[in-house]
Structure 1
Amino acid sequence: MKTAATPPSVTITRPADTGNGFDGRTQRYHHDLTGKLIRSEDEGLVTHWHYDEADRLTHRTVNGETAERWRYDERGWLTDISHISEGHRVAVYYGYDEKGRLTGERQTVHHPQTEALLWQHETRHAYNAQGLANRCIPDSLPAVEWLTYGSGYLAGMKLGDTPLVEYTRDRLHRETLRSFAVMNSPPLIPLPGSYRAST
């Protein structure tokens, strides 16, 4: 039975501070000969970084326990990232259109024992005719829209139907003025330095 030889690696030691820092930690990073990070050390935490044949990150372990996973589809596009947080599996799933543009992100939290879905939130992304990202649509919230002109110069931003910011540009498309929307609602808490009239 053959055992795989350990590939040669390069070790870089980076002190987290340069002598007079507050914590005195030392971090070490080990890279393979192609420059990929394969191991890192920080205050007793040893992280190993694992890759597939296409050099895509697949998972990392911390002190021998799986800490995070990355998965890809047959085209090589990232489909999801997951990790364990306080016993719960937390994941982010990604969807794409036929051109490889991100069309959606779905975040989920699953029960530690049953894997039942406890929470989820989805955000969709849309593109204009030129293929530029122009809308972000979170669940149960107004869409965020980037208003552009020409080859993609930013002209403003809206939240739902409410303008948030507008940009005025010169003939060379340099920003000359930035105008923020006026919010007419009073602050929920008194601002520092403000006084109320007593009645």
Structure 2
Amino acid sequence: MIPLHDLLFFVLAALILVISPGPNMIYLISKSITQGKKSGLISLAGVVCGFLFHIVMVSFGLTAVLLAVPVAYTILKTLGTVYLLYLAYQAIKPKSKNIFEVDSTGRHDGPKKLFTIGFLTNVLNPKVAIFYLSFFPQFIRPEYGSVLTQSLELGVVQTFISFSVNFIIVLTAAKVAVFFAGNPFWVKVQKWFMASVLTFLAVKMAFSKAK
């Protein structure tokens, strides 16, 4: 088992990571506001499963193999970059729907689509795998016991923190729709800001290198 003082430091680091804006947060906020907190929670379930995917990969050493093969890393990075650019285009395309506008038509994405996109938003981000691969070893020591057990322990803690913070974000984001409904100017600002952030993340991912 990892000592409590090391685990507390890891909790602090994981908390700082999850409150940093990224594709997961953007997607959860958009779905929570446009379709309500139930849809946001379903999307959150997909995001959490994406974290579990990365944790299993890291814990069994598969991520290390993936990042060690340039071609495999390039494919995953390319898929993630294209997906982020697609989301950016969706935000500003003609007649696009504002993510802060509550859908009154009754046409919502189904649970399966919400879960799947939430899952892919997390899985198709090689930076998450890189984070786990470079961050976890700092807290894992052979003298603490099984390396696999320690890795899974850190993964569970990080996932719980991510779920807790994003759960609060989902519940809070739904209330923001009221403000934007009465402020159309900020709707346009939001759309272009969102597209800019997504494009920046895509470019940053495109030029990232495997460690």
Q: TM-score range by the shorter chain?
A: under 0.3
Higher strand share: 1
TM-score w.r.t. length of structure 2: 0.19
Task: Point out the structure with max Rg over C-alpha.
Answer: 1
TM-score w.r.t. length of structure 1: 0.19
If asked which structure has higher relative contact order (CA below 8 Å, sep 6+), I would say: 2
